[in-house]
Chains A and B, each alone.
Chain A
Amino acid sequence: MVQPLNYLRETASQTAGPYVHIGLAPGAAGFKTFDQELGTDIAGPNAKGERIAVEGVVFDGTGSPLKDVLIEVWQANAAGVYPHPADRRSAEVEEGFRGWGRVISDFATGLWSFETVKPGVVSGRNGRPMAPHLNLWIVARGINIGLNTRMYFADETDANAADPVLNLIEQENRRPTLIARREERDGRPVYRFDIRLQGENETVFLDV
């Protein structure tokens, strides 16, 4: 016998189910319980940097849009700093910049979108810079454990080419599944990021 290793075990995940909106976005579910719904303003009014919109659709393995998906985003500010004490530069983050948001897909079309500022380069492991990216977490009915992925920006070609995470993807033809296309709409930048859960051009998902 040896001494016991007394670690607890992580609570097992379960699907968020079809009515995730009730708990996490009750306004969207059609009723009001909370004075303020969380996750609707990612960057706040004072954040520096380029204001952008991000939109997309999550598709299942049959190519159909998910109309009951919930996505959370976590990002650094335009200077590449996270508003969290583990980031030594967190005191530099603009007041009101939360870095976190929550969005649901449209019940009719499956389109989701949010507005934020484009994040900057974040210092990665061993000082290697990571290209600007959004960290995404996707839950829905049929998804037993939340799916993590990252969204990179198509106009960051050089930074993306050097990004340590993109370069970990052995099959180079899968890397573009993490890169959002840039469009201009009414003079404003919109990044389009479709997520394919399964099948052709399946998005790369991460075990973080």
Chain B
Amino acid sequence: MTAEFFQRDRTLHPPALTPTYKTSVARSPRYALLSLQNSLSEVTGPRFGHNDIGALDNDLILNYAHGGEPIGERIIVHGRVLDETGRGVPNTLVEFWQANAGGRYRHKKDTYLAPIDPNFGGCGRTLTDEAGYYHFRTIKPGAYPWRNWVNNWRPAHIHFSVFGSGFAQRLITQMYFEGDPLIRNCPIVRAIPDQDAVDQLIAPLDLNAAAPLDCLAYKFDIVLRGSRSTLFENRLEGN
């Protein structure tokens, strides 16, 4: 259980400084990162259980319903959390948040003119099962404008936060929807230098997982860093 994680391949992640995403200019370190071999501080991380979450936490259609259901396209999002070796990551916390069908967030700092939905909060969370599967139900979020250039629009997206088994696997990302033409224009998406890595963020429509006459489904697998099997002892901790 003391295996080190594979080196993070930073050529597929967005670099810190991506000037067309303007906020990154003043919020990106100028010096190189200091690369560490993993110690216990990196291979360990918080663990969560079913006591931490509530029964409706993975149902955004119902978890903020106040006398009605939210307006918008009903969807299921499901998939697996895997590591780079293809193994499912079990019992790990997946959190997600999003705007409503009109692209408006329930947040005091969002002043977009599209209205708040009184029955939609926009946040949820769940634990993966023993095989790494997760699922939740929600409303498909709308695109929204943001002040980068004056006419930038975010593609429809759901933010994801995933833990894994060690703190060095910690990841926040965004899921996009198959066929959305805004994806290719977005400076935040285009911060990713690797087209395959972009494609990996786009969830395909998954009719097989849809609930007929009820809601559509999208499939989104998330890959976290894998870990080395210790073929030869590389003393991570010692005596």
Contact = CB atoms under 8 A, between A and B. Distances in A.
Contacts of B44: 74, 82-84, 86-87
Interface in A1-26: 6-24, 26
B21 interface: yes
Contacts of B208: none
A169 interface: yes
Contacts of A35: 54
A199 B16 CA distance: 14
A157 to B, nearest CB: 20
A168 B30 CA distance: 18
Contact of A144 (B13, B33, B45, B107): B13
Nearest to B106: A31
Interface string A82-101: 11111110000000001110
A72 B48 CA distance: 15
Given A7-B85, A9-B197, A144-B21, A33 B63 contact: yes
B239 interface: yes
Contacts of A125: 37, 39, 235-238
Top 9 A-B residue pairs of the complex, sorted by shortest distance between their CB atoms: A23-B97, A127-B238, A142-B23, A100-B46, A84-B44, A142-B27, A144-B14, A207-B33, A82-B44
Interface in A86-141: 86-88, 98-100, 107, 122-128, 130, 133, 135, 137, 139-141
B40 A124 contact: yes
B171 A11 contact: yes
A122 B44 CA distance: 12
B15 to A, nearest CB: 7
A122 B108 CA distance: 41
A14 B188 contact: yes
Interface string A31-43: 1011110100000
Given A10-B224, A13-B172, A29-B108, A34 B26 contact: no
Interface residues of B, number: 95
A206 B39 CA distance: 13
A123 B35 CA distance: 19
Interface stretch (B67-75, B117-125, B211-219): B117-125
A22 B192 CA distance: 24
Contact of B13 (A12, A83, A202, A204): A12
Interface string B107-140: 1111000000000011111000000000000000
Interface in A67-88: 68, 72, 74, 76, 82-88
Contacts of B184: none
Nearest to B234: A125
Q: Say what secondary structure dominates the interface of chain B.
A: loop
B180 interface: no
Nearest to B158: A23
A207 B34 contact: yes
A190 interface: no
B31 interface: yes
B39 A205 contact: no
A145 B170 CA distance: 10
A100 B159 CA distance: 21
B24 A143 contact: yes
A34 B236 contact: no
B59 to A, nearest CB: 11
Contacts of A156: none
Given A22-B123, A86-B43, A145-B16, A38 B48 contact: yes
A62 B28 CA distance: 11
A147 interface: yes
B156 to A, nearest CB: 14
Contacts of A61: 25-28, 30
Given A11-B200, A133-B41, A26 B27 contact: no
